[in-house]
Amino acid sequence: MLNSNTVTLDATDYRILRELLRDGRVADVQLGERINLSSTAVARRRKIMEENGIIAGYNANINMSSLGFNGVVMVAIELSSQAEHVLVEFEREVVKCPSISYCGFVSGDTDFMIMIHVNSFNDYDRIYRRELSNLPHVAKIRSSFVLREVARRLTPPVVFDAQK
């Protein structure tokens, strides 16, 4: 059982997390009914998980195509060097790019993977010219347009299923 002195989770805590992934707006009463626990116990466990940073926040799942963003571009960025100052300078500037939804430092042939939501090829061309091509120390940019989304999850269920 989770307590305020540790971040050890038990099966009930994982059931709470699984339900919150399905519906982050669920009230403690309904959540308790779903997992057979009192609403008071649910509220206490939820609060402890929030205080310990296990639950980092609650977000809306926005349908980007309903806002006109019908495409996703995955962009592989290769830098000119792996020197610390190069990485720091790139990272400092990439977070300033308003069109970037996600950027991660990765292993392999690529240094960074970026995800961008676009409304057209012209939109990506604008982003490429105004944002990506102006990032410091970029040696190569490879873009791939997502043709079809097959799966998207904030957290894979297997993370919680292993803790039954």
Same domain, 85 and 139: yes
Average pLDDT over residues 47-67: 92
- Same domain? For 23 and 85 the reply is no
- For the cut 90, the answer to whether the pLDDT of residue 121 exceeds it is yes
Residues 32, 45 within the same domain: yes
Where does the pLDDT of residue 22 fall: very low under 50, low under 70, confident under 90, or very high at 90 and above? confident
Q: For residue 1, is it within any domain?
A: no
When pLDDT is cut at 50, 70 and 90, the band that residue 59 belongs to is confident
Given pLDDT bands bounded at 50, 70 and 90, which one contains residue 43? very high
Q: Which two tokens stand for residue 150?
A: 């097959």
Q: Is residue 5 part of a domain?
A: no
Average pLDDT over residues 47-61: 92
Same domain, 119 and 102: yes
Residue scoring higher pLDDT (66 or 161): 66
CATH number (domain holding residue 101):
3.30.70.920
Average pLDDT score over the chain: 91
Q: Residue 158: inside a domain, yes or no?
A: no
Range of the domain at 101: 64-145
* 58: its two tokens: 């609650």
| pLDDT of res. 148 | 93
pLDDT the model gives residue 76: 98
